[in-house]
Structure 1
Amino acid sequence: MARDVTLLPKAHLHLHFTGSMRSSTLLELADRYGVHLPEALTSGEPPKLRATDERGWFRFQRLYDIARSCLRTPEDIQRLVREAAEEEVKDGSGWLEIQVDPTSYAPRLGGLIPTLEIILDAVHTASRDTGVGIAVLVAANRMKHPLEARTLARLAVRHRDRGVIGFGLSNDERRGLARDFDRAFAIAREGGLIAAPHGGELAGPHSIRDCLDDLHASRVGHGVRAAEDPALLARLADRGITCEVCPASNVALGVYEKPEDVPLRTLYAAGVPMALGADDPLLFGSRLAAQYEIARDAHGFTDAELADLARQSVRGSCAPPDVRERLLTGIDEWLKP
């Protein structure tokens, strides 16, 4: 009998802030604030999305923005983070790195600095109450001006001692050039943060190379389309660059037709470190443990290989040494007969 993947200790390195919200919480907050939700967010089923064309990406972003508009007070932020941590406990995650662009929430929460401090306070409380280690990765939006990204990078560095561990770049990677954001990433790296931009999801292998060459990424958000370039696979493997692969998201957004098409085996066989992630459970309908189920059911990963994936997620994380040791020991225990 296959082991229960919810009991497998693991780290979660690719979870977006609003996208971590429970559907039930969204419905409650929307009712409270009088926000009209489209049927795609009220049906109880993941919306039908296909972001490989511009219209599909616009629809995905619109749904995300509507959901985000329901987060209006510090109490809403606290609730979202607490519930996200509770879901991590259910899925066996002992370490979470949640990604947020604070500019999206700042107009309702008093500005950039108060917003990030509210988020970090919520993270501290949720971590203390649930036992899940949580850190924050501040992400810039590549659809906005690079000067805004520099402001965010400085803000992130300033809060490094309060739980910010990295700097990212999200939204449609087909827009703009990674090198436009090189100064923001230099600020973040010089301030001691890891660089973890998105690449290799909606755009091909070139977007991953841009993340490596222009932004000096130590991790890549998604990165799954490196499978199309053997030389790039070898480069990622040789440098130990962890790719935050999100199988359910890839299928939901139309990057691949079905779970079996997501090239998990290709990356794994090439020795590319992977950290499976849920991306946006609110929109894609599945959380962290379900990504391990996809690896097992659609790709035939054995329990030993699933344990190896979990180890890769821990080693690719910014978790402190004691958390890493505890999780790695737990993974070994999970494998015992």
Structure 2
Amino acid sequence: MERVRDVRALPKAHLHLHFTGSMRPATLLDLADKYGVHLPEALKGGEPPKLRATDERGWFRFQRLYDIARSCLRSPEDIQRLVRETAEEDVRDGSGWLEIQVDPTSYAPRLGGLIPALEIILDAVRAASRETGLGIRVLVAANRMKHPLDARTLARLAVRYADQGVIGFGLSNDERRGFARDFDRAFAIARDGGLLAAPHGGELSGPASVRDCLDDLHATRVGHGVRAAEDPALLRRLADRGVTCEVCPASNVALGVYEKPEDVPLRTLYDAGVPMALGADDPLLFGSRLAAQYEIARTAHGFSDTELAELARQSVQGSRAPEDVRRKLLAGVDAWLGGTGSDARPGGE
């Protein structure tokens, strides 16, 4: 009988997780009650809301729900709670390294300004790392819906804190809006400051948005990137350059990019040799965390435990984790696959 190992025990890195979206639903309810924030029914039921963001109305609804949730984070204590609980969830799912993405301008009005907001976030990250043992770093992300000059300000800020926990620079929100090249100067500032370039592309928009990330922003990782599967030449380019795609299967389905988990082109990217790091994106809105993405690969795409282990290795190799952390995680992957721990159990799910 084939051995089925627990994916929660598989050591892995988590490279695509948004700050507010990492919140526990119960925490959102607590904070909303604390501040008297009226939550729509979609955020109150404990179940992920029904979303479909492939048209502008659907994306607007997704953003509105996200903004309401973010409005419940108002104090340093709220930030500390979110990061600590997020770290606890990640550790439970086998993550040994987390790179969490945040736009500090979204929190600045309630936390005393842009610099205090980022410092509060970084303080919370350091505290949560000490308490849980999880390595955590931050990607500062610009908002594609705002002016490129705002992105340059954020890039300079990110570089300023590169030795205090910031390891990368991203670009989020609706990739169908504007052009990646509008943000090329911001990404040049970030790269020159030693930061990883990891913009979103290839989810709501097609392969061209991934090419733009490579050509205009010189991305070394791409947030999502799944639509590259529609262009074999682009797949070869990603594979040849070793550009990691941060693939988030549950969110792809929740947002209507694909109808069902089986439609997400995990196997296409994997077979083409494109490095992948599975991510949970926004568990608050999409209803599943990191280990569940590996279960999707197993159950919907037939990934063997050997292939799941390779996905975990790719997540570690695509991270900015220090060399000693990488070695430890990769050794843990080998141990998981070798069944030397208590993580292997016979039979099916």
Asked if TM exceeds 0.5, the reply is yes
CA–CA distance in structure 1, aligned partners of residues 328 and 85 of structure 2: 23
Residue matched to 1:283: 285
Residue matched to 1:83: 85
CA–CA distance in structure 1, aligned partners of residues 92 and 6 of structure 2: 12
Deviations 1:115-169 (A, max 9, x none): 0000000000000110000000000000000000000000000000001000000
- Residue 310 of structure 1 and its aligned partner are, at CA, apart by 0.0
**1:91-130 alignment runs, 5 A limit:** 91-130=93-132
**1:241-252 alignment runs, 5 A limit:** 241-252=243-254
Query: Tell me, what secondary structure is at the counterpart of 2:178?
Result: coil
**1:20-39 alignment runs, 5 A limit:** 20-39=22-41
The partner residue of 1:228 within 230, 239, 245 is 230
TM, length-normalised to structure 1 = 1.00
Amino acid at match of 1:93: S
- Residue 10 of structure 1 and its aligned partner are, at CA, apart by 0.1
The partner residue of 2:145 within 143, 146, 162 is 143
Which 5+ residue runs of structure 1 have no aligned equivalent? Answer: none
Residue matched to 1:270: 272
Deviations 1:232-282 (A, max 9, x none): 000000000000000000000000000000000000000000000000000
Residue matched to 2:167: 165
Indicate the percent of aligned positions where both proteins have the same amino acid.
Answer: 86
Query: Tell me, what secondary structure is at the counterpart of 1:197?
Result: strand
Indicate the RMSD between aligned Cα atoms, in angstroms.
0.4
Amino acid at match of 1:66: I
Residue matched to 1:3: 5
Amino acid at match of 1:171: N
- Residue 44 of structure 1 and its aligned partner are, at CA, apart by 1.2
- Residue 79 of structure 1 and its aligned partner are, at CA, apart by 0.3
How many residues were matched structurally? Answer: 337
Query: Tell me, what secondary structure is at the counterpart of 2:251?
Result: helix
Residue matched to 2:336: 334
Query: Tell me, what secondary structure is at the counterpart of 1:2?
Result: strand
Query: Tell me, what secondary structure is at the counterpart of 2:64?
Result: helix
Deviations 1:46-104 (A, max 9, x none): 10000000000000000000000000000000000000000011000000000000000
Residue matched to 1:59: 61
The partner residue of 1:131 within 130, 133, 138 is 133
CA–CA distance in structure 1, aligned partners of residues 144 and 196 of structure 2: 18
CA–CA distance in structure 2, aligned partners of residues 74 and 15 of structure 1: 20
CA–CA distance in structure 1, aligned partners of residues 125 and 34 of structure 2: 24
TM, length-normalised to structure 2 = 0.96
Runs (4+) off by over 6 Å: none
**1:249-264 alignment runs, 5 A limit:** 249-264=251-266
Amino acid at match of 1:321: E
**1:166-245 alignment runs, 5 A limit:** 166-245=168-247
CA–CA distance in structure 1, aligned partners of residues 228 and 26 of structure 2: 36
Which 5+ residue runs of structure 2 have no aligned equivalent? Answer: 340-349
